[in-house]
Structure 1
Amino acid sequence: MGDTKPVYQRIADELRGRIDSGDLRVGAQLPSRSELKRAYEASDQTVDRAVRVLKAAGYAQGQFGRGVFVADRTPLGTLLRTTGAVDSPFASQLSPPGTSLDWEATSVAVPAPRAVARRLGIEAGDRVMCTRYEYMADRKPLQFATSWEPLAITEGTDVVFPERGPYARRGVRGRMAAIGVRVVRAAELVGSRTATSAEAETLGCSPGQCLTVLERTHYDEDNRPVETSDVVVRADRWQLEYVIDYTA
């Protein structure tokens, strides 16, 4: 019985198989559009659709004016999700060991978007401190994070700016403890979505490629949300590791 899959999917599957088997190695150029058209008796649109599938899955990336090449899908590292690590968006193990890690952050007070307000248990439009982080290894962007904290909690204190002042870079728990707020737990939701053009350009992937989004919220001992954040990484380059300790 013949293959009933759409031609574009058959092209994508067979190229993916060649990549997985090592026949097409990282950095190798994929067959040109004209070569694929001849081999599969396909149209330009069909071949282009197959290549878009490979790009979205992280198997290929285009180089302007040169062609499409096999992408490096080796995991960059692991995001550690342990009791000691969830406080920091960049609790990571990177490959190779010894990679230089750094981040940049900008903070601005904004009205809380509806979705953020719901996560923080406040009203939409209430003021929050929004901090956007860009994390880098050897000066190359690896992941993004956006954090929101209610200004009703931090305004007028030394911790209102997460990355400025005497408690900069202390993490949510350390900063909140400095103003008498005891953070006792964090909850995380892990999901996925496709990369925007801007995210793809910065993270070195293709628009539409799958990203992993980790939504984390910190709570104090009264079960009040005191911070919520989103961490965004390339799904094809990062693994999530959850360490679960059982206690009596």
Structure 2
Amino acid sequence: MGDTRPVYQRIADDLREQIDKGDLEVGAPIPSRSALKRAYEASDQTVDRAVRVLKAAGYAQGQFGRGVFVMDRKPLGTLLRSTGSVDSPFAARISVDGTALSWEATSVTTPADRRIAERLGIPAGDRVMCTQYEYLADRKPVQLATSWEPLAITEGTDVLFPERGPYAKRGVRGRLAAIGVRVVRAAEIVGSRAATSAEAETLGCSPGQCLTVVERTHYDADDRPVETSDIVIRADRWRLEYDIPFTN
């Protein structure tokens, strides 16, 4: 039985196989459009579609004026999700020893949209502190996160700004404990979606490439949501590791 795959998919699969086998090494150019057209007897549109599939899968990246090149897909590290690490500023294990980790953050007050209000159990439009994080490894962005906290809990306290004040950089549990709020659990939902143009530019990937998104929400002793956040990483460069202790 003949190959029933669309031609663009066959081209993309063949190129992926060459990359996985090492026949096309990291940094090597993807065969030109004219070369692929001849090899597969395909049209410009078919070849371009195949290359777009390759880019979206994180196998290749275009360089303006130069062409399309094989990307490094070796996992950069592991994002740790455990009792001890979920609350940390940068819950990650980097594969390369000696990597310098840091982060930058910007906080603004804003009305909660319907999605965030639902996650926090508050009316849409209620004011929240929105903090956007950019996590860096050797000064290169590797992880993005956005956190939302209800101002009804933190306004007028020393923990209003997560990265400023006497309790800065202590994580959600440490900061809220300072104002008498005991955080007892966190829940996470892991999903995926395509990278936006802004995310792709920051994370060094192609627009449309697959990202892993972790939706995390912290709860207090009354099961009230006190913080929720979205953590965004490149699916091709990061793995998720969960430590799941069993209790009797």
Structures share a fold, TM > 0.5? Answer: yes
Shift of 1:120: 0.3
- Secondary structure of the residue aligned to 1:90 is coil
Tell me if 1:171 matches 2:204.
no
- In the alignment, what sits opposite 1:91? 91
How does 1:82-231 map onto structure 2 within 5 Å? 82-88=82-88, 90-231=90-231
- Secondary structure of the residue aligned to 1:115 is helix
Contact 1:56 1:209 in 2 (8 A): yes
- Secondary structure of the residue aligned to 1:55 is helix
Distance in 2 separating the partners of 1:8 and 1:55: 13
The RMSD of aligned alpha carbons is 0.7
TM-score by length of 2: 0.99
Shift of 1:221: 0.2
- In the alignment, what sits opposite 1:238? 238
Shift of 1:247: 2.2
Shift of 1:246: 1.2
Write the deviation string for residues 140-193 of structure 1: whole angstroms up to 9, x where unpaired.
Answer: 000100000000000000000000000000000000000000000000000000
Write the deviation string for residues 87-128 of structure 1: whole angstroms up to 9, x where unpaired.
Answer: 135210002021000000000000001000000000000000
- Secondary structure of the residue aligned to 2:188 is strand
Letter of the aligned partner of 1:222 in structure 2?
Answer: D
Letter of the aligned partner of 1:147 in structure 2?
Answer: S
Distance change (3 Å), C-alpha of 1:12 and 1:40: same
Distance in 2 separating the partners of 1:19 and 1:89: 35
Shift of 1:86: 0.7
- Secondary structure of the residue aligned to 2:185 is strand
Distance in 2 separating the partners of 1:43 and 1:154: 59
Aligned residues: 248
User: Alignment identity in percent?
Assistant: 81
Letter of the aligned partner of 1:179 in structure 2?
Answer: I
- For structure 1, which runs of at least 5 residues remain unmatched after alignment? none
Contact 2:219 2:227 in 1 (8 A): yes
Distance in 2 separating the partners of 1:191 and 1:98: 30
- Secondary structure of the residue aligned to 1:186 is strand
- For structure 2, which runs of at least 5 residues remain unmatched after alignment? none
Distance in 2 separating the partners of 1:238 and 1:199: 15
Contact 2:214 2:232 in 1 (8 A): yes
Distance in 1 separating the partners of 2:198 and 2:109: 23
